[in-house]
Structures are given as structure tokens and as C-alpha cells.
Amino acid sequence: MPIERSDLLQGTLDMLILKIAALGPVHGYGISQRIRQISKEVLQVQQGSLYPALHRLEKRGWLEADWGSSSNGRQAKFYRLSSKGRKQLDKEQSNWERLSEAVALIMQTAH
Amino acid sequence: MPIERSDLLQGTLDMLILKIAALGPVHGYGISQRIRQISKEVLQVQQGSLYPALHRLEKRGWLEADWGSSSNGRQAKFYRLSSKGRKQLDKEQSNWERLSEAVALIMQTAH
DNA sequence: CGTCTCTCCTAGACTTTCTACCTATGCTTA
DNA sequence: TAAGCATAGGTAGAAAGTCTAGGAGAGACG
């Protein structure tokens, strides 16, 4: 059986998380929901991808986190963008634009 | 020192190679040159990525290859798209459009 | 002769993501 | 009251792709 793959474009998850966090403090589970909603169900972040990514970003100093309670009164870890994270987001966004435009150039070359 | 990364968007290399091969038979070295030229030097395919990718695509039956001689009279392996490869290219292209539009949706959400 | 470009290739490391699990709590509903 | 579901956190290990860093040979050109 051929393998059907890819809920995400590899390499964009960090950027997407930083972008969602830039909209205001949000917990991990909420990030995955927002990505799914805003992308109209196209992008689905697996929890096994999400949490390692959050820890990675926090470790690099791009996100900062505090425990608090969610709208349901549950314990949740809220993430916000640090100023280093803001710079990183800008960098990743411009890199994304550069690369996706380059891919588009190739995909548009006439047959 | 922070690590600067990414000559390519992960996961797009196969699609780019199939696309270049769809323009007519071409050898590996030529593929990397065309990708670089068409993308205006933005996308640089390392040889250590290129050749494994070509072998992968040939193994999956998406490319077919014959040895021939290049315009310089040197031995070179020319790749062309098979009909399976054509279908795969169509599939990868529509998936790319779906995903890159979804990423764009998220990146465009107002602050 | 040395060096450059063209052309092919591989091994091993690294990163990211996925699958598949585990845990806990609160709400709903049968 | 029990079961199940959604919410919330997490990990381990596999799979996949790309990069770094090398090797090799042939022809062109000073």
C-alpha cells in the first residue's frame, strides 16, 4: 500500500506556532486548534509534533511559558512570544516567502 | 553561533525534480542547475540531497533513466518522467498548493 | 603539470515529524 | 453511577529527508 503523507509542510511548524503565539498568550492545545481552524482543517498538528516543538522553541528562548488556567478552569501552560521570538518569526516569515516564491517560479515554468 | 539553515523547503525536492524532468530528459547535474537558475539562485540543491532523491524517484517508478552523453560529450544519466511520475507530479503539485495556501492563511491573520 | 568544471556517487549525522502510546480532569449522558 | 468524550499535558521510537563532507573520473585550459 502506498503511504499517504503530510499533515504539514516540513519546516513550517515552528513558524506557525510562533505566529499563533504572536496573536496573544495561548496554550499548546489551543495552538493546534487555531492552526486547524484558521487553515480550514487543512493543517492538522499532531500532538506528537506539537509538544516537542513547543519545548524546542521554549528552550531556544523564542517562547516563554507560565502555568495558568484555561477558559474551562483547567491547568494549562500558556505560551507567549519573547522579543527574540519576534525576531525569529520575522526571519522565518521572510524566508518562507522567499522560498515559496522560488518554488512557485519553478512550478509555473511553461511545459 | 546560531545555525542558519535551509537551502530548500523540506518535502518539495521530489516535486521540483519531477517538474524539471517533465520539461524534457535531463541529467542530474542539469536538474540542480535548472532549479538554481529558474529560482534565481534562491533554491540550491546540494548533491548529497539530489542523487539520493533521484535514486528514490527512479526506484518508485516515477523517473526512468538512460545513460547518454551530455552536450559536452560526457557520460551522463538522463532522466525522464514516466506516466506514473506524471500522476505523482500532479498529486504533489495540488498538495503543495493546498498546503502553501493554508500556511498563507495563517501567516496573514491580522495581529 | 595543476586546477577547474562537469558528472556521478556514498556514508553518517542531524532535524523534524509521525505513530502510538501514557496520564489526568471535568463534563455529559445513558 | 459509570462510561465516554473533550480538554490538557506528555514521551519513546521509528521514519523520512536533507546536509556535510567526503571520494572518483574525465575533459578543458592555462
Q: What local confidence, expressed as pLDDT, does residue A7 receive?
A: 86
Q: pLDDT tier at A3 (50, 70, 90 boundaries)?
A: very low
The parent domain of residue A72 ranges over: 5-109
Beta strand pairing call for A75-81 and B26-27: unpaired
Whether CB of B48 is under 7 Å from strand C: the answer is yes
Q: pLDDT tier at A110 (50, 70, 90 boundaries)?
A: confident
Cα-Cα-Cα-Cα dihedral sign, residues B8, B9, B11, B12: negative
Q: What local confidence, expressed as pLDDT, does residue B111 receive?
A: 67
| Candidates B20, B40, B99; nearest CB to A9 | B99
| pLDDT higher than threshold 60 for residue A109 | yes
Q: What local confidence, expressed as pLDDT, does residue B26 receive?
A: 97
Is A59 an interface residue toward B (CB < 8 Å)?
no
Contact A103 B39 (CB under 8 A): yes
Is pLDDT larger for residue B6 or for residue A61?
A61
Q: What local confidence, expressed as pLDDT, does residue B15 receive?
A: 98
Distance, CA of A90 to CA of A68 (rounded, Å): 28
Q: What local confidence, expressed as pLDDT, does residue B44 receive?
A: 95
How many structural domains does chain B have? Answer: 1
Contact B102 A15 (CB under 8 A): no
pLDDT digits (tens, 9 = 90+) for A69-90: 998 889 999 999 999 999 999 9
Distance, CA of A69 to CA of A77 (rounded, Å): 8
| pLDDT higher than threshold 60 for residue A111 | yes
Picking from B18, B106, B109 by the largest number of A CB atoms within 10 A of its own CB, the best residue to mutate is B106
Is A47 an interface residue toward B (CB < 8 Å)?
no
Distance, CA of A5 to CA of A28 (rounded, Å): 23
Q: What is the CATH classification number for the domain harbouring B84?
A: 1.10.10.10
| pLDDT higher than threshold 60 for residue A1 | no
Strand D bases contacted by the protein (CB, 7 Å): 7-13, 16-23, 25-28
Residues of chain A found within 8 Å of residue B35, distances taken between Cβ atoms: 106
Distance, CA of A100 to CA of A11 (rounded, Å): 12
> Which residues have C-beta within 8 Å of that of residue B109, sequence separation ≥ 6?
A19, A23, A38
Helices (H) and strands (E) in chain A, counts: 4, 3
Q: Average pLDDT by consecutive 10-residue portion of chain B (111 residues)? A: 63 97 97 96 96 98 96 94 97 96 94 67
Supply B89's cell numbers.
507530479
Whether CB of B13 is under 7 Å from strand D: the answer is yes
pLDDT digits (tens, 9 = 90+) for A12-60: 999 999 999 999 999 999 999 999 999 999 999 999 999 999 999 999 9
Residue A75 parent element (H or E) = strand A75-81
Picking from B4, B5, B6, B9 by the largest number of A CB atoms within 10 A of its own CB, the best residue to mutate is B9
Residue with cell 518569526: A89
The DSSP symbol for A9 reads: -
Residue B69 parent element (H or E) = strand B63-69
| Candidates B10, B16, B93; nearest CB to A10 | B10
Q: What local confidence, expressed as pLDDT, does residue A52 receive?
A: 98
CA distance A45 to chain B (A): 12
Q: What local confidence, expressed as pLDDT, does residue B110 receive?
A: 79
How far does the CA of B52 sit from the C1' of C8, in Å?
A: 12
Q: What is the mean pLDDT of chain A?
A: 93
